[in-house]
Amino acid sequence: MVPSKKGKQTIQEKKMKLQFKKEKQNTQGVQFRIDPITSQNLTALRNYYSEQAGRRVTTGEICKQLINLHAEELNNE
């Protein structure tokens, strides 16, 4: 567990959960390269969220939600 600065939550206390609907939204294609460890982590995330959503969740859907969540956090600062 990594302590945070100025009394904010630690990494373990602040768990992020993404929410996926049963139907997919229209998306645009994007390509990027990742290292083997990141690839393993991405596969684990895809498997986890696919099980939670009851359907196959794609890499693009995960990236899209992460981008939107991060942008929202930055806008709220």
Where in the chain are the domains?
36-75
pTM over 0.85: no
- Written as tens digits, the pLDDT of the chain (77 aa) is 334 445 454 444 456 677 777 676 666 777 889 999 999 999 999 999 999 899 999 998 899 889 988 888 888 87
Q: Two tokens at 39?
A: 């690839």
pLDDT at residue number 76: 85
Measured in whole angstroms, the distance separating CA 47 from the mean position of its chain's CA atoms is 12
- Alpha-carbon separation of residue 73 from 25, 32, 41, 65 (angstroms): 22, 24, 23, 12
Measured in whole angstroms, the distance separating CA 4 from the mean position of its chain's CA atoms is 21
